[in-house]
Structure 1
């Protein structure tokens, strides 16, 4: 397969094609399941919101409990083969759910349907904890140089944002005209396409380890390798600084996911039927920021892009919290998302530069679950603050109105600015990989088990 369009290099282009198809399938799948649970299984039931939240909870459990340990196995296994077998498992999981979905809804109790949905989502997202670090490591092999790695991360983010603009509008018509099973089948096919594309990539195969002969392998020590990864992460000033500023930033921006709908209707006086424009504005901002990130990193470097992006997005969030009109709010959200996406994109080459190849899986499997947890805690905390402690906050100062939600947003903007100041002062000038501690020997060419436990797009 020789793509006509080359993004950075041929192998990366192939990997991108797989991601693009897979991301659209994921967006359709996730949206379809939420709609089906809310409008079919739990229709008119008082517990419908809890049923939908179970889908999101299944995702969070996989990230927080499987993610940290998955990196140990990813570092030990052949990265390309891990990705391939992951796609087989994920495609099989979705195919099984697709077959079951051909049954009439009343053929099984609602509890059984929900259990099947939750179990499938849990296992798919558990699988993602193996696939994502493996893909991260393969990109590190395929793409070199800070600017090109930022371009690769930007293309990946833009692709994911585009998928979430394309996928959800496809999901509803598929569900309500063709049926649940066809939306699920689309996702299963996307895994098959991803598998075929990944097979055509030549990178990610491990070189024979020096000094090893025959078939003898050193015994696996999962806990020892996991703790060695944690020790390496803790010793790296650069990685510690990155994760601290990411956590602070997540606490600053997580409030948007919980409270923005209330801010839009109360502060921006936006009719509810126009709320979709909020998501569109942020999606477009994400695409613009991701596509511009590579060029910006080439101009000023990934480190400056990170702290400058935090400072600018924090100030824009503060300005957004003072908006009172629909147009101004939508424009500010677009502008806010551009530097936010740039800094998220710039972190990819920083992570790759700070982690040696044999520790990349564990570094990613520590970094992303921790930031995900910070985002979840931020969403919960902001909702609690707006609904309890700050519930009665109301008034004005110098003609500026203050309420519970805009106060939380203003505080969030301050947090983001503080994380930018921290990044400016704390990020070391170089992200060269430190020498890892000698620890339990990994077996990079150890084969995957016959029945892998997880994977996701």
Structure 2
């Protein structure tokens, strides 16, 4: 009887597993942590906007959040990859979760009155510039730690997921990120309106603790770091970093993906920068519905990750990757000149479907072409390159829309031509170019294998 009940419990628990026990814990931890991050960042934006209400420099102060998060990716990410390859990835992730939780909680010292009134006396005397400086420091420090955590997560997939199910695992993770964004955004607005920023700080810190508990519960067999790797000095770090660059340079698939992903980041850097103006000005969507309009697009991302696990195996990963890139580019170019909200929303959903497909595929493609000892460095290099492309696109689109393209304004029955539409179409060209570039080189690799 006892044996039968144990078998029943084992079968019941297996129904709730995604791929396997380890991946299920990693997936749940990532979902909780990402929800906390979205809630935190949106709440910070609302917090700074409230602090600087009616101040002319408020948009610049809010953009400082993105800059504080991006700079560590440029300065630290490549070097972080070296240490990810040296150390045990599960321990790196646990350590980073603890430190990130402590960093986020430190903002309670400057957040002012809220759910924790005993902090209000110490924070009321702080001038706003000092509060902003502390916020930027915490965001930058948290982003620095994420440069170790994120490549560790991607590299750990090879240890806990069978190779034939890597695409399914990547699709689940990508789909969860798309699903979590509107949930986190909605929670941020509700929490901030009713309880202030302190609740968002506490929830984000709690999400890191939950992630730590779940990662600790995973059973992963990783080799212990060698004593030689621990003792190696700074010159060895640069040497190993250069080896990572050479690994990408010597592999046509990795070089192709790096260029395609950089073009993708450039295109979406423009798309995200101009999105608010495109939706509210070109499509005439009320500002009060902007969040809802954006949230609908996320369902396309969920659908895309559901489709990818069924199409990638039969059609091949590279083919699906570049086809989705081309489709996203064409859809963005067509959507850019629309003035009808419904038609534009359909185009945005198609963009989201195609984008989620490629996001789900790029991780397995990189893992399949990268030696295990180089995974951290390769993923970190990709992160650095895409961050540079995104920042460049953000700067250029913001500058051009405020200067050269600002006077452009033409409107017909179904077409709007202005800075937002011109730059969004350029974003589509970048995506299309990345897809065609990938198609050319993937076909070349296929013909060489034959």
Q: Please give the TM-score of this superposition, normalised by the length of structure 2.
A: 0.88
Aligned equivalent of 1:73: 83
Contact 1:278/1:333 (8 A) holds in 2: no
- Distance (whole Å) between structure 2 residues aligned to residue 394 and residue 100 of structure 1: 44
Change (3 A) 1:394 1:358: same
Q: Does 1:64 align with 2:112?
A: no
Q: CA deviation at 1:260?
A: 2.3
- Distance (whole Å) between structure 2 residues aligned to residue 397 and residue 49 of structure 1: 31
Greater CA deviation, 222-231 or 122-131? Answer: 222-231
- Distance (whole Å) between structure 1 residues aligned to residue 284 and residue 296 of structure 2: 17
Aligned equivalent of 1:451: none
- Distance (whole Å) between structure 1 residues aligned to residue 277 and residue 195 of structure 2: 34
Contact 1:78/1:204 (8 A) holds in 2: no
Change (3 A) 1:194 1:4: farther
Greater CA deviation, 74-83 or 160-169? Answer: 160-169
Hey, which of these two has a bigger chunk of helix by percent?
A: 2
Counterpart secondary structure, 1:275? helix
Aligned equivalent of 1:123: 141
1:188 to 202, 205, 208: 205
Q: Which has the higher contact order (CA 8 A, sep 6+)?
A: 1
Contact 1:58/1:118 (8 A) holds in 2: yes
Q: Does 1:36 align with 2:42?
A: no
Aligned equivalent of 1:169: 186
Aligned equivalent of 1:440: none
- Distance (whole Å) between structure 2 residues aligned to residue 399 and residue 82 of structure 1: 53
Q: Does 1:137 align with 2:152?
A: no
Aligned equivalent of 1:160: 177
- Distance (whole Å) between structure 2 residues aligned to residue 348 and residue 176 of structure 1: 38
- Distance (whole Å) between structure 1 residues aligned to residue 221 and residue 133 of structure 2: 36
Greater CA deviation, 303-312 or 395-404? Answer: 395-404
Greater CA deviation, 391-400 or 326-335? Answer: 391-400
Q: Please give the TM-score of this superposition, normalised by the length of structure 1.
A: 0.86
Q: CA deviation at 1:426?
A: 1.0
Aligned length: 424
Aligned equivalent of 2:6: none
1:245-256 paired onto structure 2 within 5 Å: 245-256=260-271
RMSD (Å), alpha carbons? 2.4
Structure 1 residues 60-80: Cα deviation after superposition (integer angstroms, max 9, x where no partner): 111111111100111000111
- Distance (whole Å) between structure 2 residues aligned to residue 416 and residue 333 of structure 1: 14
Q: CA deviation at 1:131?
A: 0.3
Structure 1 residues 313-366: Cα deviation after superposition (integer angstroms, max 9, x where no partner): 111112212322111111111111101110121111111111111100000100
